[in-house]
């Protein structure tokens, strides 16, 4: 297909700005897949909502909200918008600096640094309705080219790598004690969409919430079996690993291990330690009495 018109085919165009040799367009579209290549300019796409998956040059870029990705219209590609609703602003660039093949299908953060400047400019241009004079339009086009060129000329080590499940899981383990941790928080910390985060876990036959709960329960189980922690009440161990409500923890623990947390502790600890753990609440009640 002629990639000159690939944005227009995705849905009802929101706006188009002709800025000399640069065009900035915005569109909202439903989930859609397409393939093309062989003609047309480069497309630097900023995703404002949804998720974009681009396959080109042997790489796959999964781009979430607030991120940018470069597509080369002159090379074969496959593109998919995977969310029910997607919004994208695209700068159609006649040239890019250096080796374009190094930059295509790579995701850049649009929240900070050069990426933040590019994202801010593209968003502003997509929303702006000011009738600029031709000379002003050319200057704006050069500004887009300069900023996009500076971003795309980054060294490979400065380009954000695609997130991998082990790295995401390591992050979750570091924050396991935060009972407010949600999949949305994890996705935001890795600059990916929550939808893509769920997909990463689904590939391993997991769900994000279930994996987080299982890791919390495993650490509670470990601590309950630790004689050095025999003096620590069960509910404090649960809270340490993100269970705010003792009843919820007890129910989840019994479901996972077939026994109540207190019974598991008595069974697991050495006799003296188990007696100490059981006697602690009683002693506290006697003291209060």
Q: Decide if pLDDT at 5 tops 80.
A: no
**Residue pLDDT, tens place only, 91-125:** 988 887 666 777 888 888 888 888 999 999 999 98
Most trustworthy range by pLDDT among 28-37, 77-86, 265-274: 77-86
Would you state the pLDDT for residue 263?
Answer: 92
Q: Decide if pLDDT at 1 tops 70.
A: no
pLDDT category at 249 given cuts 50, 70, 90 is very high
Strand partners, 172: none
Average pLDDT over residues 220-241: 92
Would you state the pLDDT for residue 279?
Answer: 44
Q: What integer best gives the mean pLDDT of the chain?
A: 80
Tokens representing 243 are 């269970």
Q: Decide if pLDDT at 275 tops 70.
A: no
**Residue pLDDT, tens place only, 141-185:** 889 988 888 888 754 444 444 556 788 888 899 999 998 898 988
Average pLDDT over residues 210-219: 92
Give CA 243 to chain center in angstroms.
Answer: 24
Per the model's pLDDT, the better-predicted residue between 6 and 199 turns out to be: 199
The C-alpha torsion from 212 through 66 and 49 to 7, rounded to 10°, is -140
Q: How far apart are CA 150 and CA 207, in angstroms?
A: 39
Would you state the pLDDT for residue 57?
Answer: 80
Q: How far apart are CA 63 and CA 46, in angstroms?
A: 9
Would you state the pLDDT for residue 271?
Answer: 60
């Amino acid at each position: 297909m002629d990639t000159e018109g690939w944005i227009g085919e995705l849905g009802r165009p929101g706006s188009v700005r002709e800025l000399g040799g640069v065009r900035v367009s915005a569109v909202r579209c439903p989930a859609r897949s397409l393939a093309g290549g062989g003609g047309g300019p480069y497309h630097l796409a900023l995703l404002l909502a949804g998720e974009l998956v681009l396959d080109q040059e042997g790489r796959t870029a999964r781009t979430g909200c607030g991120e940018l990705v470069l597509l080369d219209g002159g090379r074969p590609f496959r593109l998919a918008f995977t969310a029910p609703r997607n919004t994208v602003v695209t700068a159609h660039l006649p040239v890019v600096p250096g080796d374009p093949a190094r930059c295509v299908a790579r995701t850049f953060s649009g929240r900070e640094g050069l990426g933040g400047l590019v994202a801010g400019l593209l968003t502003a241009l997509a929303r702006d309705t000011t009738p600029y004079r031709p000379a002003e339009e050319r200057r704006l086009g050069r500004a887009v080219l300069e900023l996009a060129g500076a971003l795309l000329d980054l060294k490979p080590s400065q380009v954000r790598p695609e997130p991998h499940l082990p790295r995401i899981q390591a992050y979750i383990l570091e924050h396991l004690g935060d009972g407010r941790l949600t999949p949305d928080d994890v996705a935001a910390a890795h600059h990916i969409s929550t939808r893509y985060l769920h997909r990463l876990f689904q590939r391993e036959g997991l769900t994000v919430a279930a994996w987080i709960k299982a890791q919390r329960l495993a650490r509670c189980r470990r601590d309950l079996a630790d004689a050095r922690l025999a003096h620590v009440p069960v509910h404090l161990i649960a809270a340490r690993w993100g269970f705010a409500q003792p009843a919820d923890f007890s129910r989840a623990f019994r479901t996972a291990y077939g026994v109540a947390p207190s019974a598991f502790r008595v069974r697991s600890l050495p006799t003296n330690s188990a007696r100490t753990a059981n006697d602690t609440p009683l002693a506290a009640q006697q003291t209060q009495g």
